[in-house]
Structure 1
Amino acid sequence: MDIKILQQGNKYIFAALLTFALFLTSNVAQSQCAGNDGAITVCDITNPTNQALNLFTLLGGTPIPGGFWIDDLGSGGLNSTTGILNAQQIRESGIYTYTYTVTGVPGCADNTSTVAVLIGPYAGVKEDGSRCGDDTELNLFELFNYQFGNIPPQTNGYWYNNTTGTPIAGYTINPSSFNVTAITVYNLTYTVPALGPCPESSINVNLTLVPPVDAGTPQNLQLCSTTNLSLYTNVNLYNLLTGEDSGGTWTDNNGTGEIANPSDSFINVQNIYNNFGAGTYSFTYKVLPISPICEQKTAVVRVIIEDPIDYSGILLQVNTDVCQNQVASAVFTGVLSQSPVLVPNGTYDITYIVSGQATPVTLTVTFNNGVATFNIPNANFPSVGTYSINVTNIVATNSLGICVNPIPTIQDNLNIYPVPTVVNSTLNVDATCQNNSTTAYLGNLTGLVDGTYSITYDLSGANIASAQTTTIIVSGGNSVFSIPGNLLPNAGSTTITITSIANGATGCNAPANVSASFIVNPLPSTIAMNISAPNAVCLNQPVVVSVSGLGTLTNVTINYDLSGANSSTGNIQSLTLVGGGATFTIPQGLLTNAGITTITVTGLSNNVNSCGVIVSNVSDVFLINSLPVAPSATNQTFCEANNPTVANLVPSGNQFVWYDSLGSTLALSTTTPLVSGEDYYVSEVNANGCESARTMIVVTIDTVPAPTLTNGGEQFCGTDNPTIQDLTNNTNASGNIIWYDALTGGNIVSSTQLLQDGVIYYAFNTSTTTGCVSKDGLAVKVNLTNCEETPEFFIPDGFSPNGDGVNDTFTIPDIQFIYPDYKLEIYNRYGNLMFEGNRNKPNWDGKNSTSKTMGDVAPNGVYFYVVYFNKNNKAPKQGRLYLNR
């Protein structure tokens, strides 16, 4: 039989009870060696008979004795040997099964049977209790009476607080959560639910909570002795408590004498410091409970007075700077020292940080007579560089930090120097000459910081030297040094090898192996050298010097001195040699004096290899003739119209030479036209062919502009009898104008002469200051027809062509001016045309000029004329005239 007991909310499910009922009514007919299943209900658990229930007697049928029992659900009340069940030992109500088994009996169809026991609810025997209100946990089963044979309550019940009307979860409470301030009684009910035919069982208990006392929460009074302690001469200790119960007493724990009696709560902190110095002084406040069930409470108030510590003047020295390859074995020690000693002896926590490290380090050191030491791990210095070690805080280990103790800047630097290395560096050496020093160039010195170093090197090849030492300065990965000339006596290829290098500032050193080859060039030979200058030259003329005897040299520089009439030293001249010789010109600036001058070669350098030697006994002498005095000349002015040339300049003569610039070498021809505003230079040549300095003059060509005619200035009216002066008045003349009747070779026309129509006159302007005449003339063709018709226009009515010189022709006065395009026709009385006239043929002399049939001479009589004016649409005019011979 399988019986399951289910529990939910401390109530058994009805299915379990139904199963138990079915079990009670079952009837097994087959042979049972262990008998038939049995059952029993125990509701009155307190009945003494329930202490020894014989389960064997509860089996049905005829069970065979001698079998054994099993407590199937672990109820805890079964004696498995005897089969006696003590129901009072089962701690929870419920249905429990016990199996009886018989073994070793042949023919048993079923050798096991089960007895089911229903244990009814039991709530126990109450015993009221009391607790202090500050207890944090109370097991409610402590409120039961377990003495005098009372059965303990079953544990599968539930609790309810009747006083607060709230259920209680579980079987424990926290008395302090009730926050009682007075003695309070809580009535609680414990109930074990009904099960089957057994009703529920419950009891009421009373729990009395006694309020605890509170000595308060203390607050320490912390003062630095530099504080004005006169402000703390009447400190009420109650002010250093919060939440305390009144009625307590005070106790002086350190014997300061500040507590006069248990009820005294005032102390004088200044007296305490004056009498006892810095320290911690405690005072206890005690409060007694209202019931012995609660404990008495105490609170300790501490007055802490701390003296400041003066850290000023503390210095840090970190020993010691090392090379990078020494870091692993080095011991780095920081030494803190103070003088005069102000820091008391004792232990202190110091905090320091090393630059480049993210986390400060705090450690304990001991100051003794102002000195404390500590070790700094090597790992703080992993690479080359300058490390700053800063002590950022110092605190006495027993300090509460009450006083503000300023920490000055405590810092020192530690240098980890690089090991000098020239790996991957470059070395180049300039070619040089025998016995001359040369320069070596070290580059790509990436392993060296800027600074001073010492190197050791060897020479091999054409020149040999060992263990030579020199100092170099490295800047930006580069350096130079000199190899002395006394180490290079032989021409040829030489190799330099750097064997070691040491940092001059740090002493760090390392072996090296850097080499380079360079050439030591031979010195030039001057055994056959010769120099030659011309015998004589003029002052300021070039002196061309010939150099010879230099063998196979092709490009050299000579040094020479001049002495005598001209003296100069340290002169330099580069020469390109052909066949061992060349020429050069001594600069004019070195030859400023006439007289005998000596040129002496003092040095020779081969430009091909830059090697040079001192030269002696190579010189020559030459004469410099003096120059005539520069001629005297002044600025000169010419008229443009005269077309002046160099021949017109003064002075003139074969000994004088004219130039157009100071440096020109080409003399001007005498026919060269002069240019206004230009500078001209004249010199004199003496019998030696030497030419003087040049004198400069300025030539001015006076240019007189040709006159110009005002617009329409050639227009006149002939009736006005205009003259040359009227024509002058129509120009822009600023000077005197002269008129000619021809452009060249003409005659001057008087200013009073009447102008003639269609005649060309030529004007030239004359400067009033220089008298120069303009080079170009003004040509003016006069027009006298610019006239207007006037009422006074007159046509004669007769003439007498008798040859007496008076009125010999028929002439219309001024008609050619007023009507320049007029036409005149004269007819006889028969209508025959006798004469045709115009401005080119204005006068009729009484002869027939048109018809050959009428004779040449017109007889006396009346004739008729027609005038065609041909101007302004003026109508022709007819008239008659009388011819009287």
Structure 2
Amino acid sequence: MWNDDDTSGALSGNLVTLDGLAMGSYNFTFDVDAIGSCDDVLVTVTIIVNDTPAPTASVTQEFCDTATVSDLTATGTSIKWYDNATGGTPLSGTTSLVNGNNYYATQTDATTGCESSVRTLVTATIYVSPKSGNPIPIVDCNTNNTIDLFTGLDGTQDAGGTWQDVDGTGALSGSIFDATGLSAGNYQFTYLVTASSPCIDASTMITVTIEEPLNAGSNNTLDVCSNNGTTDLFTLIGSADTGGTWSPAMSSGTGVFDPLVDAPGTYTYTLTNACGTVSSDVIVSVTLAPNAGTDTTATICVIDGSTDLFPLLGTSAQSGGTWSPALASGTGIFDPSADVAGVYTYTVAAVSPCSPDSSAQITVTVNDSPQIVVLEPNPSFCLVDNPTVADLSASIRPTGTVSWYADATLSTPLSTSTALVNGEDYFATQTTASGCESSLSVQINAIINNAPTPTLNDPSKEYCINDNPTINDLSLNITEYDSNTANVVWYDADVNGSMISDTSTLINLTTYYAALVDAATGCESNVRLAVTPDLTSCGELFLPDGFSPNGDGVNDTYEVDNLAILYPNFEIEIYNRYGNIVYKGKASTPRFDGKPNQSRTTFKGDLPVGMYYYIFNFNDGENKPKQGHLYLSR
């Protein structure tokens, strides 16, 4: 067991509490009881307790605004600061100090490495720097005797400070400044707030601008002509102070009035400062300068009729003037049928303060083109030729460019492509080198001739193709046909197309178009008669009873005239005398040439001379099959 040899009172079991022990050596013996006759074993442990004295420091340490632990001071080595008298951990040097709080310092012995067990108390006192505020400009009038200088601060200042009259005006009482009678200018004052050490005093200087009442001058009037140029209105209001503004604003941006761009009316000059607002008015009247426009020339065509000369003077010309010499209209209307060509002067009288009168001249030239020479007043045309206004040109002899109209008043112009109408009157003018259209027109009456559409004697007339019918056969069926005058012509189209000769052979179901020819005018029908002949009216079909395919070019094939046209769906079968089919054909099959076209026949070349038999199928829904025989010879 352990024994406290020096009765330090610090031993408890095998633990020694060092806190509270004074400096010195302390012995503790451990006694081990022996067994049997053996002696006890004793072991003594000596503990040497060292301590470091507490550092010295001012009990109260003062700071301004902000401070940290590193700002605390104490005399000693390896100083550490705590926020408790015992225990705890050392404070960082960046830890902010709190006003009125206690802080505790220790020092550490460099030899023993022991930190002082007793800590030195220091109380932190932190003062706040005084605030004198931020300056705000004061502008006031020299008629004010109660200017509170505190209105020159932004309100962040501390109370209790004092005001100082920097410029020594002698007009300061406390914070009240009496500006009565002072000259215009800037005056400076300082607000001082005293600080507690270690903080320093705070002061703010403000500027008070004192202004004197302004002079806006006196009212006036201005009466100008619009062409008088510019006027500086400032010169009209007397000895006014500069720096004011004009209302309404003028185009110059200043007080210069330009009658050409600025409106007449009241213009106000205004000055404003701390002493108030003053103004004066200039009433401006503007009289429009006379403007007769600009000199010009006018070329007037007789056909155009009356012309108003006033618009020719330009858009700036003023109305209400007089013309000299006077025109027949009594106004500015020039009538080429009543007024003579020449110089006409337009004058606008000036109104005070404007002068002199304004005038402009128009030199008028009157032109015309000669009337067109008429060659044929009543030209004739065929309707079938689709005559147009352009075809009237052969009826006149112009010397210029021709214009056509539908009426005598020449109010409805016509295109040269306009179709002519029988019995209608057409009116023409011309424009020559003078540039004027002729004032006198000519009248042309168009006569449009036409022949009636031909008619058929027998609309149901049929033909047989084997008779080789021609166009002339169609003409013979026309009611109006006259073989002596050949008054019927045929075409291959309803309109235009090519003319077909009378001797041309007809083609089955082809449409032909007939027109009558008027013997007196030579005009054809503008509407043609369409005829589509049926050439299949040929009666009973005749089938030849033989042919000779010997290569002499005559009857080399078994041929039936126009068979494909008469019976387009026919079929024919030819058999030998043994009843074997040797040929079978239709419209698209090569004709029978004495050679078989059936694979079952024993003959591969020319069939032998002899009698053969046929079966002809019309396949027209009307005729029954026809049977017969034919003889093949060579």
Q: Same fold (TM over 0.5)?
A: no
Asked which structure has the greater RCO (Cα within 8 Å, sep 6+), the reply is 2
Q: Which has the higher strand share?
A: 1
Query: Shorter chain as normaliser: what TM range?
Result: 0.3 to 0.5
